Amino acid sequence: MNGQLTPNMVAGQLAQLARDLDVTVEQMKTAEIDHVEKRAAFDLAFSRAFLSGDGSVDARKHAAVEKTHDARMAADVADALVRHLRRRLDALKVRIDVGRSVGAALRTEISLAGVSD
């Protein structure tokens, strides 16, 4: 390979980016559902732990935090995955835009050179 892009190479890269975008959108859907379920489970566990506790409000709150730590961590990790996938979606969109610009520049260069596809 001589390092020069061809219209077919650009089209192939754009097609791959589109497939990557589809996969990431599906991953995002799954991750968002997981996050919502884990956050709801944490909220419910915290409420139950708080209501079943003894002592002052502050003591019950801290006991509930301790009892629900694992559920809170699971919800926070699920939230972090959703944020990561959002950044990945944004990056894929930028890469697609760049690919489109490269393709347009390549087509212009070819037309100016008088070469047909």
Single-letter amino acid code for the residue at 14: L
pLDDT, tens digit (0-9, with 9 covering 90-100), for 44-67:
999 999 999 999 999 999 999 999
**Of all residues in the chain, what percent are helix, strand and coil, respectively (each to 5)?**
85, 0, 15
Instruction: Look up the pTM and report it.
Output: 0.81
Instruction: Give the model's pLDDT for residue 75.
Output: 98
pLDDT, tens digit (0-9, with 9 covering 90-100), for 15-38:
999 999 999 999 999 999 999 999
Domain map (residue ranges) of the chain: 18-109
Task: Give the span between the Cα atoms of 25 and 35, in whole angstroms.
Answer: 15
Long-range CB pairs of 5-11, under 8 A, 24+ apart, other chains included: 5/102, 5/106, 6/106, 7/103, 7/106, 7/107, 7/110, 7/117, 10/99, 10/102, 10/103, 10/106, 11/103
What is the average pLDDT across 98-117? 85
